[in-house]
């Protein structure tokens, strides 16, 4: 049986326009499928509102993957899920991809916002550096490839979106000195090193403000 990720990629190639309606529950997904939608989007904004929260990164990865698993098991069409900012840094993003693969969704998209991330409709969004965004994307792609999953989307609002995707893709070229996996591992090690040093500094100075780059939850 063809994976949902491959099914979604085939739809992108075959359909002149692929309408992917946003839903937030298994029942919504079944209604959308019955209405003829060939793919469905699990909306992070709608899922947050369903739980009584604004879309500002307040739902955890565990809560969202639980919903994703229920939605994916309720329909046959491919599901694209909102994975916020990967729920932390590059290390957290690797775990995020692993958990979403288990849900059966066709793919996820990852934003490059700083925490607390916000829905695209909400003012006050800020984004991480290009280096940090690329590190997350490489980590996500490496985990996707390791799991045999075939679909992931990278979202970089308002700043060279195409350049970012191309730069990530270039790392997988035959002529590249390093593969996406080695880049992701290297970046993760650098973040882990910074996190360890940050933890040591925080222990020495408990009143210090939290440092960016520490693992997210």
Residues with active-site annotation: 119
Determine phi and psi for 155, rounding to 5 degrees. -115, 120
For 41, the enclosing helix (H) or strand (E) is strand 39-42
Q: Is 50 in contact with 71 (CB distance < 8 Å)? A: no
Q: Which of 212, 134, 129 shows the shortest CA–CA distance to 180? A: 134
Block residue for tokens 């939605």: 71
Locus of tokens 């990720």: 5
């Amino acid at each position: 049986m063809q994976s949902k990720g491959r099914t979604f990629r085939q739809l992108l190639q075959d359909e002149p326009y692929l309408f992917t309606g946003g839903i937030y529950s298994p029942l919504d997904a079944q209604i959308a499928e019955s209405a003829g939608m060939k793919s469905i989007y699990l909306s992070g904004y709608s899922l947050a509102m369903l739980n009584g929260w604004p879309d500002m990164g307040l739902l955890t990865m565990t809560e969202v993957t639980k919903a994703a698993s229920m939605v994916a098991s309720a329909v046959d069409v491919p599901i694209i899920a909102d994975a916020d900012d990967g729920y932390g840094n590059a290390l957290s993003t690797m775990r995020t991809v692993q958990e979403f693969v288990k849900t059966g969704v066709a793919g996820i998209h990852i934003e490059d916002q700083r925490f607390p991330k916000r829905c695209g409709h909400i003012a006050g969004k800020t984004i991480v550096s290009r280096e940090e965004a690329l590190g997350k994307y490489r980590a996500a792609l490496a985990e996707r490839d390791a799991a045999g999953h075939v679909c992931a989307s990278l979202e970089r609002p308002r700043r060279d979106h195409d350049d970012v995707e191309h730069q990530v893709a270039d790392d997988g070229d035959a002529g590249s000195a390093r593969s996406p996996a080695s880049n992701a591992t290297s970046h993760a090690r650098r973040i882990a090193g910074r996190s360890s040093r940050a933890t040591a500094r925080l222990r020495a100075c408990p009143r210090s403000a939290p440092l960016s780059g520490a693992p997210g939850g």
